[in-house]
Structure 1
Amino acid sequence: MKVSAKLRKKAVAVCDILDTVYPEAPCSLEYEEPYQLMIAARLSAQCTDARVNIVTRTLFVQYPTLQSFADADLAALEEAVRPCGFYRTKAKSIQEMCRRLLDVYGGVLPDTLEELLTLSGIGRKTANLLLGDIYGKPSVVTDTHCIRISGRLGLSSSRQPEKAEEELRAVLPPERSSRYCHQIVQFGRDVCRARNPLCGQCPLQGLCSDPSFTKKRIDG
């Protein structure tokens, strides 16, 4: 995908400001082992990260190893993840992904997108999260915050996750892409909210491309 040097320069400017505002931008999901991030990410579908963290603090004690998830009584696992919603589907896919991880990959999380996508319940968003956080590879996690705010900034135009990922990969410095996505999540919660964004407090005011919000900033 061809993009202008001007847009790439803008992306660097955005990253520079976010690095200043959010110098530490860890993943909002709590985990200690790579497979735990995989499980937490699966639970986060249609659920807040805050609620997932509450659940996994107990879940990872109840099931302390990858093998324990693979061997778990499915009904008990369903009850353990019930607060995250869609608990039957999530419990089933968690057990299946853990079994495949053990049977096919020797318990080691794969380090390629193609292999990660073979795990039950893992889509591109989760696969990119794992590649970026576990292996430090360039990755773009196109969650709702990333798509919404990148659109407002004019760094991407698509509302479709895969297309937005392609657009952002073309403009973001690869070594900063994963960190950008974590920073944008926090920025979206703090300032650039879906409704009633705090434009007057926005450190990215001068880079915003959304006319409705730039007008609000000027008029406000």
Structure 2
Amino acid sequence: MSKTSKKQLISSQLNAMFPDAKCELSYSSPYQLLVAVILSAQCTDKRVNMVTKELFKSYGTPEKMLTLSQSQLEEKIHSCGFYHNKAAAILSMSKDIITKFNGVVPNDFDDLCSLAGVGRKTANVIISEAFKGDGFAVDTHVLRIANRLQLVSEKNPNKVEMQLKSYFDQSDWSRLHYQMVLFGRYKCKAQNPDCKDCPFEKICKKEYKK
């Protein structure tokens, strides 16, 4: 299958399966999305939304977040897992936003990556979701799907991001990110993927097929 045909197949089928794909994290500002994405590492969006629903009632800005001690924040986000590291990252990130950017989340990719606790994946999510720019965040789902569909043969998320960005049109990056996340979350799971009637059977790596 040619590169063009493969690209069209993946794009059209993901569109058919997930025409309204979008971020499943709840937030009302770029800052709140940043916090939610940090909390979502190795945690379900459903759990994060339960935690942030209460957290953001009183601590939805960097200034208010910094009124909490690390131990207090850890207690509030405990159920998201890795609460010690996540609390430290959120507080450091909040301080950076205030000291470096006058309390406003930057809309520049490199500036976002300069924030404590923010890597390329998180920055891509903020650019594409909060600021409606073009980003292709590579999380565990995107990494798995990209390899299974033989778009890449690479385990380094940053390298996969670059390869996916060069493979697909820039205008499709954000949409495809969300669609690949949902495809990986609900159908092409890490364990026991649902391969029945999968439209990508012909391009899937054999070792993943049932």
The structure 2 residue matched to 1:137, chosen from 120, 133, 136, is: 133
Note the residue ranges of structure 1 that are not aligned, 5 or more in a row.
none
SS at match of 1:71: coil
Shift of 1:59: 0.8
Shift of 1:154: 1.4
Task: State the superposition RMSD in angstroms.
Answer: 1.8
The answer to whether residue 198 in structure 2 is matched with residue 212 in structure 1 is no
The structure 1 residue matched to 2:113, chosen from 92, 117, 126, is: 117
Note the residue ranges of structure 2 that are not aligned, 5 or more in a row.
none
Q: TM-score, normalised by structure 2?
A: 0.92
User: Number of aligned pairs?
Assistant: 210
Partner Cα separation in structure 2 for residue 177 and residue 149 of structure 1: 15
The answer to whether residue 15 in structure 2 is matched with residue 22 in structure 1 is no
Change (3 A) 1:12 1:107: farther
**Residue 103 of structure 2: aligned partner:** 107
Higher helix share: 1
User: Are 2:113 and 2:123, in contact at CA under 8 Å, matched by a contact in 1?
Assistant: yes
Partner Cα separation in structure 2 for residue 131 and residue 189 of structure 1: 22
Q: How does 1:21-170 map to 2 (within 5 A)?
A: 21-170=17-166
Partner Cα separation in structure 2 for residue 52 and residue 128 of structure 1: 19
Shift of 1:193: 1.3
Q: TM-score, normalised by structure 1?
A: 0.88
SS at match of 1:189: helix
- Deviation string 1:65-123 (CA, Å, 9 cap, x unpaired) is 33101222332112111111222221122112112112221222212221111111111
Amino acid at match of 2:83: Y
Shift of 1:143: 0.8
Partner Cα separation in structure 1 for residue 195 and residue 86 of structure 2: 37
SS at match of 1:15: helix
SS at match of 1:25: coil
Partner Cα separation in structure 2 for residue 188 and residue 121 of structure 1: 25
